[in-house]
Amino acid sequence: MKQILTYLIALLPLLSQAQIGGRNVYDFLNLSPSARASSLGGYNISTYDHDAVFAYQNPALLNDSMHQMVSMSFVDYLGGINYGYGSYAHSIEGIADFHAGVQFVGYGEMVEADILGNQIGTFGANDLALVVGAGCQADHFRIGANLKFINSSISGYQSNSALAFDLGGLYVSENGLFTAGMVFKNMGFNLGKWNSGVSTPLPFDIQLGFTNQLEHTPLRFSMVVHNLNRPNLIYFDKDAPTEFDLSGEPIENKFPFFDNLFRHVIFGTEFLLSKGFNLRAGYNHMRRQELRSLNRAGLSGFSFGVGLKIKHIRLDYGLASYHAIGPTHNFTVSTSIGSWLQ
């Protein structure tokens, strides 16, 4: 009976209706891996071109144009946190396209104190994910998979690990202007438990994405629908005091259907002005709603970026606005090893 009650209590968070934050471990896996992805709203699983970093978000995007592509991203994140992602892609003709990457997060130095609040030193915390993946083609369709070894550690205290994998698919139209992707992300299991003794789930997510470039124009539009496995992304505080209107009648909390609907959607736009110069913009409605202040929203939820190619090197910059707590700055440098050897 004790075991049954324990399992039921552990399942309660999965059945409740609340925001997705705090439900999972290793949420750093959802951080944007590159400046380009960051400027397009954080996710992009359907843009089919030379960008090997996109394979982290959907392994089906791997293709032979990424052969020997090396990329390195660094992000000046919030509150002194820094993270980055480095990757390499390689194609073997007639077999498949492969990539490998390392994602890391450093939370900086933090003050350590005892239960009475006395400072006794400092400590740090880090996250790490090692990623390998492969993709192959079948007519107008592509399929791919990623395998991730994940580790989180608090120096001097505890370190835990997990294994996860992604499964992705992609459809590419005959003229290449329209693509549609779908990915099942972060399926897996923990290799250990934290101090609570509860094996908290990984941040599993089902995403669907579309990208379309208008014919004879330099405009490319993308849309990603995320958290398809979590219909409700809005949190209602059941313990909040009841509000009353001017007549003294209690105000009923109505579910904002369209607000919840658009929290699942991220929009991105690219202006392909030339092969060496691109402008980008994105909008993430969930980020805007969760990080806006009560009185004004500012630019929270919006993101912007630019891409520049100088000979064999591609430089990308992305800015994502988090309103009052400030923006994040994402920088990516990428190049093809093969282009230097020609």
Task: Average the pLDDT over 206-220 and give the result.
Answer: 95
Task: Average the pLDDT over 87-110 and give the result.
Answer: 94
pLDDT in tens, 287-338: 998 887 767 777 889 999 999 999 899 999 999 988 766 789 999 999 999 8
pLDDT in tens, 252-286: 777 788 999 999 999 999 999 998 999 999 999 99
Nearest to 313 by CA among 329, 331, 337: 337
CA–CA distance, 339 with 328 (Å, rounded to integer): 31
Cβ atoms < 10 Å from Cβ of 41: 30
Report the pLDDT value the prediction gives residue 9, as an integer from 0 to 100.
34
- What are the phi and psi torsion angles at 184 (to 5°)? -105, 110
CA–CA distance, 11 with 155 (Å, rounded to integer): 30
Contact 233, 260 (CB under 8 A): yes
Report the pLDDT value the prediction gives residue 200, as an integer from 0 to 100.
80
Task: Average the pLDDT over 78-101 and give the result.
Answer: 93
DSSP 160-190: EEEEEEEEEEEEE-TTSSEEEEEEEEEEEEE
Report the pLDDT value the prediction gives residue 112, as an integer from 0 to 100.
87
What is the Cα 305 distance to its own chain's centre?
Answer: 17
Cβ atoms < 10 Å from Cβ of 186: 22
Residue 17 has pLDDT above 50, yes or no: no
> In Å, how far are 68, 89, 96 from 100, measured between CA atoms?
11, 7, 14
Band of the pLDDT at 45, cuts 50, 70, 90?
Answer: very high
Q: Are strands 69-76 and 82-92 parallel, antiparallel or unpaired?
A: antiparallel
pLDDT in tens, 104-143: 999 988 888 888 888 888 889 999 999 999 999 988 899 9
What is the average pLDDT score of the chain? 87
Report the pLDDT value the prediction gives residue 325, as an integer from 0 to 100.
67
Report the pLDDT value the prediction gives residue 91, as an integer from 0 to 100.
95
Which residues face 211 on adjacent strands? 179, 222
pTM of the model: 0.85
Report the pLDDT value the prediction gives residue 22, as an integer from 0 to 100.
62
Per mean pLDDT, which range of 12-21, 37-46, 279-288 is the poorest? Answer: 12-21
What is the Cα 173 distance to its own chain's centre?
Answer: 26
| DSSP-based three-state secondary structure for 123 | strand
Contact 82, 107 (CB under 8 A): no
CA–CA distance, 80 with 331 (Å, rounded to integer): 16
pLDDT in tens, 144-164: 999 999 999 988 778 899 999
Report the pLDDT value the prediction gives residue 42, as an integer from 0 to 100.
94
